[in-house]
Amino acid sequence: MRRLTVAQALVAFLARQWSERDGQRRRLIPACFGIFGHGNVAGLGEALAGAAAAGVDLPYWLCRNEQGMVHTAAAYARMTDRLSTLACTTSIGPGATNLVTGAAGATINRLPVLLLPGDIFATRPANPVLQELEDVRSYDVSVTDALRPVSRYWDRINRPEQLPAALLAAMRVLTDPAETGAVTLALPQDVQAEAYDWPEELFADRTWHVPRPRPDEAAVRRAAGIVTVAHRPVLVAGGGVIYSGATDALRGFAERHGVPVVETQAGKGALPHDHPLAAGAVGVTGTAAANEVTANADVVIGLGTRYSDFTTASGTLFGDARFVNLNITGFDAAKLSGVQVVGDARESLTALSAACGAWATLPAYRSMVADLGTRWAAVVDRARHADPQAPPAQAAVIGAVNDAAGPRDVVVCAAGSMPGDLHKLWRSTDPKAYHVEYGYSCMGYEIAGGIGVKLAAPDREVFVLVGDGSYLMLPSELVTAVAEGVKLVVVLVDNQGFASIGRLSDSVGAQRLGTAYRDRAGAPLPVDLAANAASLGAEVIRAGTMAELRAGLAAAKAADRTTVVYVATDPMEPGPDGGAWWDVPVAEVSATAAAQTARAAYETGRKARRARLHPS
Ligand SMILES: Cc1ncc(C[n+]2csc(CCOP(=O)(O)OP(=O)(O)O)c2C)c(N)n1
Ligand SMILES: [Mg+2]
């Protein structure tokens, strides 16, 4: 027996957890991020402070905003293919509720994060405590309950005896590729500090084997029966391809059977951009080439994709296709009424390939795909090309960052107009080098996420592309990067507001209301974001022309500390369009002509939407 507080036991346990897949073993939770307050400083704070002296290896990192640290943990998990993540400790009350947005983002993106919010006293000696939300219906409700719907496992440790089973359940969900997402263990502040006699085996090294479930043979045969009669198949590669390390299997499948591959945001980089069967980015943010191939496909093979509305163009992209979905979860495999092949992406694709035997598409189909790809490459070249002395346009900025980044360097982005342009214009050469969070598309992810990427892959240069809107939402994690010596290149693209939502607003008849940063008289604001970044401790380079931008990027890359390259762009200059539709409902009645016109266009657009109900 070992007598420790609940918090000490938790820390000692976490330091002994490992994950293993394909014979590779690594720490499941190598560090803990956090912000202390009265809800965790005496419990977890004391335990983490005393960890090293007690022979427990769980370093503590201070973040500046709780939402930010969840993004950091999620990005870390994504970069390690979900085999590792970070713990996040908060105080009670606002510290805990600040986790909710990050937790939703992690769960939506199917990424493990371990959340350890402090909670109100289990013993209720003198409630309400500071920051307690009282519910008149029950004293058994606290703000940490807000984390339930965004967590894949949620528990509150009201007694020390409950801890071991909850810890095992939490680790199981974190390492289960089908169930993973945010895991929350709410820790009442009195319970954290309570001592208990723990069985010694709780602190033994424990390895969580991440499985590669094989698909059902009959399901694979059914899938092959559909695929092998296809003339114009396409494979939609989602994030699951990359998490499963299925990129070699994907290339083998594509080449052996002559199947073109289109990529979602999370799947971008699954095939190198210049592979002849890489048809490019698919969907609303996709390329004209990929969308044409997909629209004409007779069979769609979805591999590790959630089929979000951005991928399906809100149900309008696919023609008369049949769907075969290979996914680790039955939930995603069943989408669009497809044939379900439930299993690990690599194993499932290998099994499907074997079941397809010598079947392959005709050479004419492959060369048609390659031609479309070549034509799109010329569009990208034109969009990225810019006069060195001109003020930078966003597409040219993206091109310059792509040129500055080495083949393994990582680009990070999340919200605004840049994810769409990146999806279409970025040329990826490595499966881990394109990191755009577009499941939750959460403003504020960019810098915090960049820290997680860099911590997981210190040998890669990390380029964070962040718009002025996203930057203003969460610049605080720049301080964390500076404090911890986590080197980022942050490209801050200032177009004085929301280019993305401004354009969307225009298209739905909302007249750009509230989408530009202006004062009440309509004048630009006297706000200097470059000076702001400098005040937070970053090196700052201001680039006024394309030539200055290229020089600035090179200097930032060579620097050994976090450097912000500030560039102003024109919000009215859109990148090239891939032609797909996105369902954003427009006012059915309105007194404004703009909305009436937009509604008419909307009604035409939605006619292309199809229900996918054919029995598979
Ligand atoms: C937290 C959050 N709030 C609101 C939104 C809706 N939204 C999406 S993009 C955007 C504007 C982003 O502005 P900026 O970062 O400057 O990028 P730009 O559109 O100018 O490229 C907004 C408000 C969001 N994605 N996330
Ligand atoms: Mg902007």
pLDDT digits (tens, 9 = 90+) for 336-364: 999 999 999 999 999 999 999 999 999 99
User: Is the predicted pLDDT of residue 280 greater than 90, yes or no?
Assistant: yes
The ligand that comes nearest to the alpha carbon of residue 470 is 1
- Please report the pLDDT score of residue 573 as a whole number: 77
- Once rounded to an integer, what is the mean pLDDT over residues 558-576? 91
Task: Give pLDDT, residue 162.
Answer: 98
Residue 534 has pLDDT above 80, yes or no: yes
What pLDDT digit, counting tens, does each position of 381-396 carry?
Answer: 999 888 888 889 999 9
> Taking residues 101-123, what's their average pLDDT?
98
Instruction: From 237, 477, 441, select the one nearest 346 (Cα to Cα).
Output: 237
Whether pLDDT at 550 is above 90 = yes
Residue 389 or residue 287, greater confidence:
287
Q: Which atom of ligand 1 is nearest to the CA of 394?
A: 21
**Residue 99 CA to ligand 2 centre (angstroms):** 25
Q: Is 418 in the pocket of ligand 1 (CB under 6 A)?
A: yes
The whole-angstrom separation of Cα 95 and Cα 296 is 50
Q: How many CB atoms lie within 10 A of CB 610?
A: 14
111 burial (CB, 10 Å; 0-12 / 13-18 / 19+) is buried
CA of 437 to the centre of ligand 1 (A): 13
417 Cα nearest atom in ligand 1: 21
3-state secondary structure 532-554: HHHHCCCEEEEECCHHHHHHHHH
Over residues 39-62, mean pLDDT = 98
pLDDT band for position 613 (cuts 50, 70, 90): confident
Choose which residue among 498, 505, 506, 567 to substitute to test ligand 1 binding: the one with the highest number of ligand atoms within 8 A of its C-beta: 498
Containing 193, the helix (H) or strand (E) segment is helix 189-193
Does residue 467 have its Cβ closer than 6 Å to ligand 1?
A: yes
CA-nearest residue, atom 11 of ligand 1: 498
499 in ligand 1 pocket by Cβ < 6 Å?
Answer: yes
CB 328 within 8 A of CB 260: no
Ligand nearest to the CA of 495: 2
Please state whether the predicted TM-score (pTM) of the whole model is above 0.95.
yes
| Ligand 1 pocket member 415 (CB < 6 A) | yes
